[in-house]
């Protein structure tokens, strides 16, 4: 198995260069495989500007949930969405196949994709917000020992990819016995492009299959779960050649045979990368379907209760550790979308934000806990469910619920950030893309105020980060500094000092209700 090295592209960038005769049009594809859609960006390497985008499907991709707490998607659908979004982007930007010099992929983390020896998918992917494997991870945490897990895996095995595979082994033995390799969603897209099953060390770490103390695959965890080592894919560097578009799919994709895939990373490490968050102490955030605050550390400092996660960042190495400390709330954008569909289905999101702005800070006493999208790590893998508190049928309306939903999400960020601070992460400056819930003035001002943090909003997103990673991984850009020279700061959000006490009172009420529910 290939050893992982820090920014291997710096030493081996020549790997991608045989086909990279850098001409006038040097474009890089970034593919963002999310749970709601697949986005594609085309980056012009010379200008650092995005020349085209594509997105599919037009409405949110379905999530199959045959039981409460389950969440699955069909990988074949991902492939179909990706092709549609890619065609849109190429056509919109008038991009030719020969213009594309390299491809980068980012993807929804922690999902499980299983293939047989013919590389055929064996079952729908068990995705990140599926909670069926919680008990498997908890058992491993107890049996292997908290100290071992937190020093070798840096987390409880929790509800991550390896635990999901353990569930398949016990509950679907025929499927398990047919497995050739297991992989993450981004590995699947790369496999479909290249015909080769590969992964990365950060990918293995997010699935709880990497032993940081031994700098190798965690044989101890695999053995505990009964997972053969042979099921683990070969590792390749995060930056550098990871495979090339195969002749069998080149025409299907509208790309040249041999176009290299030169970057892949999970959505949260990639979001941080897209914001040039690479050094200890820097903080990134995102608020899409789920919401994450992600800080970089150069040392292991875990929460004893494993309520926040720690994974290898995109530029991690043994010599220079770069670890992503991550708080996640599963129900963020999905909570806001559910509320809008339920109480104001005919309005746009901008209009929904205007409705929320009609209600005073604290939502007139209404409090919402947004934990309705699976087991929450910050709640020690509890499935608390979303709940609404303090409704008065005479005084409250759709406007009240619109604001309470956004405040509840912001308060969940604050709750997770307080846990992060116990591990040494200082969240005084947060970088985020100008997208999703960060487009809402109520959400971002509430978060900045209760967290006492400055929020810097940038013109970027996950697919742009993946395209930048591809350009960096193939050697078009020599350094991250060069790659991010065009990163544009749009806005700075500061705490609302005039209404600070009102925000803190609302958060205190939210936290009291949360603790009451947890102790019920």
Residue 111 lies in a domain: no
Q: Radius of gyration (Cα) for the chain, nearest Å?
A: 22
pLDDT value for 301: 86
User: What proportion of the chain, given as a percentage, has pLDDT over 90?
Assistant: 90
DSSP strand pairing (454-458 vs 429-433): parallel
Given a cut of 60, whether residue 6 has pLDDT beyond it is no
Nearest one of 161, 128, 150 to 289, comparing CA atoms: 128
pLDDT value for 306: 87
**Cα–Cα distance measured from residue 42 to residue 99, given in angstroms and rounded to the nearest whole number:** 10
User: What proportion of the chain, given as a percentage, has pLDDT over 70?
Assistant: 95
Confidence of residue 444 (pLDDT cuts 50, 70, 90): very high
Question: Averaged over 449-457, what is the pLDDT?
Answer: 98
Maximum distance among all Cα pairs of the chain, rounded to whole angstroms: 71
Please provide the DSSP assignment of 305-318 as one string.
T--SEEEE-TT--S
pLDDT value for 289: 86
Question: Averaged over 443-448, what is the pLDDT?
Answer: 98
pLDDT value for 200: 98
86 neighbors 35 (Cβ within 8 angstroms): no
State both tokens at 73. 């998607």
pLDDT value for 24: 63
Question: Averaged over 56-84, what is the pLDDT?
Answer: 95
Question: Averaged over 22-46, what is the pLDDT?
Answer: 90
Residue 416 sits in a domain of what CATH number? 3.30.420.40
pLDDT value for 520: 79
Given a cut of 80, whether residue 181 has pLDDT beyond it is yes
pLDDT value for 381: 87
Instruction: Tell me the per-residue pLDDT of 318-331, one tens digit each, with 9 for 90 and over.
Output: 999 999 999 999 99
Given a cut of 80, whether residue 12 has pLDDT beyond it is no
- Other beta carbons within 10 Å of 96: 13
Please provide the DSSP assignment of 390-435 as one string.
---TTT--HHHHHHHHHHHHHHHHHHHHHHHHHTT---SEEEEES-
Question: Averaged over 352-373, what is the pLDDT?
Answer: 97
Question: Averaged over 293-308, what is the pLDDT?
Answer: 91
DSSP strand pairing (291-297 vs 323-329): antiparallel
Instruction: Tell me the per-residue pLDDT of 116-171, one tens digit each, with 9 for 90 and over.
Output: 999 999 999 999 999 999 999 999 999 999 999 999 999 999 899 999 999 999 99
Confidence of residue 359 (pLDDT cuts 50, 70, 90): very high
Given a cut of 90, whether residue 303 has pLDDT beyond it is no
Q: How many domains does one find in the chain? A: 1
Nearest one of 119, 213, 209 to 166, comparing CA atoms: 209
pLDDT value for 13: 42
Instruction: Round the average pLDDT of the chain to a whole number and report it.
Output: 94
- Other beta carbons within 10 Å of 116: 13
Question: Averaged over 31-54, what is the pLDDT?
Answer: 96
**Cα–Cα distance measured from residue 200 to residue 186, given in angstroms and rounded to the nearest whole number:** 10
Question: Averaged over 259-281, what is the pLDDT?
Answer: 97
DSSP strand pairing (113-115 vs 181-183): antiparallel
Residue 126 lies in a domain: no
Scored b (16 or more CB within 10 A) or e, 307-328 reads bbbbbbbbbbbeeebbbbbbbb
Residue 470 lies in a domain: no
**Cα–Cα distance measured from residue 325 to residue 306, given in angstroms and rounded to the nearest whole number:** 11
Q: What residues contact residue 446 under an 8 Å CB cut-off, 6+ apart?
A: 361, 406, 407, 410, 411, 503
Planar angle of CA 59, 61, 66, nearest 5 degrees: 135
Confidence of residue 2 (pLDDT cuts 50, 70, 90): very low
Whose tokens are 């509950």? That residue is: 171
**Cα–Cα distance measured from residue 449 to residue 143, given in angstroms and rounded to the nearest whole number:** 42
Question: 384 φ, ψ to 5°?
Answer: -75, -30
Given a cut of 80, whether residue 3 has pLDDT beyond it is no
Question: 394 φ, ψ to 5°?
Answer: -85, -30
pLDDT value for 345: 96
pLDDT value for 391: 97
290 neighbors 330 (Cβ within 8 angstroms): yes
Residue 277 lies in a domain: no
Question: Averaged over 481-509, what is the pLDDT?
Answer: 97
Residue 303 lies in a domain: no
Question: Averaged over 327-340, what is the pLDDT?
Answer: 94
Q: What residues contact residue 162 under an 8 Å CB cut-off, 6+ apart?
A: 207, 208, 209, 221, 222, 225, 227
Please provide the DSSP assignment of 243-270 as one string.
EE--HHHHHHHT--TTPEEEEEEEHHHH
Three-class secondary structure of residue 386 per DSSP: strand
Three-class secondary structure of residue 517 per DSSP: helix
Domain that holds residue 395: 331-424+433-455+494-519
Question: Averaged over 225-247, what is the pLDDT?
Answer: 98
Residue 379 lies in a domain: yes
State both tokens at 346. 């005919």
CA-to-CA separations, 516 to 2, 258, 419, 510, in angstroms, rounded: 49, 58, 18, 10
Question: Averaged over 286-295, what is the pLDDT?
Answer: 93
Confidence of residue 254 (pLDDT cuts 50, 70, 90): very high
283 neighbors 455 (Cβ within 8 angstroms): no
Residue 377 lies in a domain: yes
Question: 385 φ, ψ to 5°?
Answer: 85, 155
Question: Averaged over 377-403, what is the pLDDT?
Answer: 95
489 neighbors 454 (Cβ within 8 angstroms): no
State both tokens at 373. 């999208």
pLDDT value for 302: 85
Residue 414 lies in a domain: yes
Given a cut of 90, whether residue 392 has pLDDT beyond it is yes
Question: Averaged over 18-23, what is the pLDDT?
Answer: 41
434 neighbors 457 (Cβ within 8 angstroms): yes
350 neighbors 385 (Cβ within 8 angstroms): no
């Amino acid at each position: 198995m290939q050893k992982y090295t820090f920014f291997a592209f710096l030493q081996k960038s020549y790997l991608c260069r045989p086909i990279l005769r850098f001409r006038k049009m040097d474009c890089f594809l970034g593919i963002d495989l999310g749970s709601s859609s697949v986005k594609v960006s085309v980056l012009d390497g010379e200008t650092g500007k995005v020349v085209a985008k594509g997105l599919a499907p037009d409405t949110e991709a379905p999530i199959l949930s045959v039981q409460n707490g389950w969440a699955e998607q069909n990988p074949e659908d991902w492939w179909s969405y990706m092709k549609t979004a890619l065609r849109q982007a190429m056509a919109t930007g008038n991009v030719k196949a020969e213009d594309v010099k390299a491809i980068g992929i980012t993807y929804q983390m922690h999902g499980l994709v299983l293939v047989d020896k013919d590389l055929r998918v064996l079952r729908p992917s068990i995705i990140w917000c599926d909670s069926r494997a919680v008990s498997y991870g908890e058992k491993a945490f107890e049996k292997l020992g908290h100290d071992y897990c937190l020093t070798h895996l840096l987390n409880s095995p929790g509800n991550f990819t390896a635990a999901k595979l353990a569930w398949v082994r016990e509950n679907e033995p025929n499927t398990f016995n047919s497995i050739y390799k297991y992989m993450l969603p981004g590995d699947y897209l790369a496999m479909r492009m290249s015909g080769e099953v590969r992964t990365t060390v950060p990918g293995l770490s997010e699935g709880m299959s990497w032993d940081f103390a031994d700098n190798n695959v965690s044989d101890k965890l695999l053995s505990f779960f009964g997972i053969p080592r042979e099921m683990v894919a070969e590792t390749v560097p995060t930056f550098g050649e990871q495979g090339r578009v195969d002749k069998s799919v080149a025409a299907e994709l509208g790309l040249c045979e041999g176009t290299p895939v030169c970057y892949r990373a999970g959505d949260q490490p990639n979001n941080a990368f897209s914001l040039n968050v690479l050094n200890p102490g820097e903080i990134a955030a995102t608020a899409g379907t789920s919401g994450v605050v992600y800080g970089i550390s150069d040392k292991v400092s875990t929460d004893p209760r494993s309520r926040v996660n720690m994974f290898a960042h995109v530029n991690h190495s043994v010599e220079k550790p770069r670890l992503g400390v991550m708080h996640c709330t599963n129900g963020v954008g999905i909570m806001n979308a559910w509320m809008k569909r339920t109480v104001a289905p005919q309005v746009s999101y901008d209009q929904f934000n205007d409705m929320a702005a009609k209600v005073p800070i604290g939502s007139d006493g209404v409090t919402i806990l947004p934990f309705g999208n699976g087991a929450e790590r910050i709640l020690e893998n509890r499935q608390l469910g979303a709940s609404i508190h303090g409704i008065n049928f005479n005084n409250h309306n759709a406007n009240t619920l619109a604001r309470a939903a956004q405040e509840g999400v912001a308060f969940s960020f604050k709750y997770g950030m307080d846990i992060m601070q116990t591990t040494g992460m200082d969240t005084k400056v947060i970088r985020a893309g100008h997208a999703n819930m960060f487009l809402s003035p109520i959400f971002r001002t509430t978060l900045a105020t209760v967290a006492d943090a400055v929020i810097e909003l940038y013109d970027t997103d996950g697919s742009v980060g993946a395209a930048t990673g591809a350009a960096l991984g193939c050697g078009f850009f020599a350094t991250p500094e060069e790659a991010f020279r065009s990163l544009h700061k749009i806005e700075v959000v500061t705490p609302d000092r005039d209404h600070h006490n009102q925000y803190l009172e609302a958060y205190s009420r939210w936290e009291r209700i949360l603790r009451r529910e947890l102790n019920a």
